[in-house]
Amino acid sequence: MRHGKMAYYNDIAKHSDLVERILGTTAEMLNTAKERHAMRRVYRTTVNELSELSGRELADLGIHPSEIKRLAWEAAYGTQAR
């Protein structure tokens, strides 16, 4: 009878480890999605705000309109991310 209980315990332990790994992986995926969403929001906001400026205002800042997307990318993802 004792062997039956041990096998049952081992099955539960294996199941518990699997559930913990699944939950851990799911949590990592959600955190990654959250971080990517935040970076994308920074990118969109930067593009929108810089696009609202006139050519003169951009020139005063030393920015050419063709640089807006690159600057927004660097603001959101950094210079090394591409």
- Would you say residue 65 has pLDDT above 60? yes
Q: How many CB atoms lie within 10 A of CB 76?
A: 19
Mean pLDDT of all residues belonging to the chain = 87
- Residue 65's closest CA among 74, 73, 76, 54? 54
Cβ contact 32:40 at 8 Å: no
- Would you say residue 73 has pLDDT above 60? yes
pLDDT above 90 coverage of the chain, percent: 70
- Would you say residue 76 has pLDDT above 60? yes
Q: Hey, is 80 helix, strand or coil?
A: coil
- Would you say residue 1 has pLDDT above 50? no
Task: Give the tens place of pLDDT for each residue, 49-61.
Answer: 999 999 999 999 9
